[in-house]
Amino acid sequence: MMDLTEKTLESAAVYRGLIVNVRRDKALLPDGRPCEREVVEHSGAVALAALTDNGELLFVRQFRYPYGETVLELPAGKLEAGEDPLEAGKRELLEETGTSAARYTDLGLYYPSPGYCAEVIHLFAAFGLTFTGASPDEDEFLETERVALTKAVDMVLSGEIRDGKTQAAVLKLAMLLERERGNPA
């Protein structure tokens, strides 16, 4: 296997924003030639596939400004500086859906768009749910919905669910549960 590593020569912050910063680096390609690399920096995020005891997943529907449309997604949110991903997930699940969970399963990492974006989204499943009451941030306008996991899988496969982390986490959870039931998909 050849060494594909690119070595950083210089790094410059070119944009400081609300959610992201952008960096422009000079780097060396594997063959030693120079290149320029643009990186969108982000503090990281977490998303949770929270499953009720009767097989329903909790969703939030919100207006996503970059697309100019409402998008159906799993509950999710940004990590605060130095925050543990699972603790952030517990906080977001409570804020957005008013739910606490008794058990969590790690569903792995999700890189949204690795060509230019450095965000890491931590995916979890959550079980044993207790409902208390949602308290979204005051600039967060969202509706919560419950969708049967089987229907959510259909909505991913039909293209109705467009959010990538939701596609990945819903299908992972469905396949892992199917395998636990001894019927490898």
Q: Is 27 in the site for a copy of itself (CB under 8 A)?
A: yes
- Compute the least distance from the CB of residue 130 to a copy of itself, in Å: 26
Q: Which of 52, 101, 46, 110 is nearest to 74 (CA)?
A: 46
| Whole-number Å distance between alpha carbons of 77 and 21 | 17
One residue of 28, 43, 52, 71 binding a copy of itself per CB under 8 A: 71
Taking CB under 8 A as the criterion, which residues in 120-159 touch a copy of itself? 120-121, 139, 141-143, 153, 156-159
Taking CB under 8 A as the criterion, which residues in 78-97 touch a copy of itself? 78
- Compute the least distance from the CB of residue 167 to a copy of itself, in Å: 4
Q: Are 47 and 86 in contact (CB under 8 A)?
A: no
Query: Quick one: CA dihedral 148, 153, 157, 159, positive or negative?
Result: positive
Active site residue 138: yes
Choose between 116 and 131: whose C-beta lies nearer to a copy of itself: 116
| Whole-number Å distance between alpha carbons of 131 and 16 | 38
**Stretch touching a copy of itself by CB under 8 A, among 12-20, 80-88, 96-104, 127-135:** 12-20
Query: Quick one: CA dihedral 125, 171, 71, 130, positive or negative?
Result: negative
Q: Is 180 in the site for a copy of itself (CB under 8 A)?
A: no
- Active site residue: 138, 140, 145, 180, which one? 138
| Whole-number Å distance between alpha carbons of 70 and 164 | 14
Taking CB under 8 A as the criterion, which residues in 96-115 touch a copy of itself? 106-115
Catalytic positions: 138
